[in-house]
Amino acid sequence: MAIFKRGRVYWYHFLFNGVHIQESTKQGNPRVARNMESAHRTSLAKGEVGIRDHKPVPTLQQFITREFLPWAEATFRAKHKTFLWYRGGARRLGEFESMASAKLDQITGAQVAAYVARRQAAKLNITAINRELQILRRILRLSVEWGHIQQSAKIKMLPGETHRERVISPSEEARYLAAASEPLASIATLLADTGMRPEECFRLRWEAITWINGRHGSLLVTHGKTAAARRSLPMTPRVRNILETRWEAAGKPEEGWVWSAPTRSGHVEPSTIRKHHTETFETIAEQGAMNNLKPVRPFVLYTLRHTFLTRLGQSGCDVWTLARIAGHSTIGISARYVHPSEDAVLAAITKLTGAAKGTIELAKPEQRPMLPS
């Protein structure tokens, strides 16, 4: 028993499981103080005051298998590809034995650096490595949120990541669309004229198309990357022509997939048109050789969306409107496509200067208030 008197009351202090406990009894009787200390020890032993024995911290591999993957499967049940992305990245993390066998609270920046070095040695690009680091960061943050550890190592992304910056020219677009087979040519046209993400286009349904809205009709994007992806887009004349022709050929259905295909999902998937996409560039190269034209440098379908948004930004579209059309969650993403020209900047400053000059001219000398002398 360890009690001591401070002023007129007794205090007690002792060690419990390595934790120093010290409290005031607010009592002046030493016997009562000793009884209160004894009761506190007993309650601690029963786990009634919040101090518990620490649960064993799982290793990274144990946490991935037992908790992270079941969480990812339940959370992204409606987004199977997202789950597959998490599962693939988690498996690659688990293949790095020194980190996978380490407890969550023992993962350090040095181990993460060693993992990065191994992936770089495998000739993996910075973008792919950063995606795996994002998954590791999500795993560690969840382990903190679920009470396995108090804090986790900070995971920093590698600098120098490349973004999709390829913008195809109108001539390249025309040559690609002319050489592409169906339905790839029609899908590519929609991407180039609406700026939809490929996945959004693949999941387009007939009930989401309205023929009477706007000048040429509109289509509703109901599935996308974020909540902001749900949006209505006007159709251009050639988009209207493609969809209307396909609709009539299908018997004018009221619902169903626009790009139906014999896949598990029932609609076109990236794997459905991957071969056609590759063959399109081969056809362009053959045609170019016969006509003494340079071949079109291959690009991914997402480049058509990036090209559309870049052209939209160059046309003078403001960043808020562009964000709405693109389905971006923040205007920070859209700002990459909006680059005001020198003429636009000069016009804005001239307008501001003119407004200021007009304000000054309104205040004529006889109308200005006299200052006290």
3-state secondary structure of 220: strand
Give tens-digit pLDDT for 126-142: 989 999 999 999 999 99
The helix-helix angle for 170-179 and 270-290 (nearest 10°) equals 110
Contact 175, 284 (CB under 8 A): yes
Contact 237, 229 (CB under 8 A): no
User: Nearest CA to 64 among 27, 101, 13, 23?
Assistant: 101
* Weakest mean pLDDT among 90-94, 163-167, 257-261, 353-357: 353-357
Which pLDDT score is estimated for 237? 94
* Weakest mean pLDDT among 244-248, 260-264, 334-338, 364-368: 364-368
Predicted model pTM:
0.63
Please check the confidence at residue 360 and state whether its pLDDT lies above 50. Answer: no
The helix-helix angle for 184-194 and 237-249 (nearest 10°) equals 140
Which pLDDT score is estimated for 362? 45
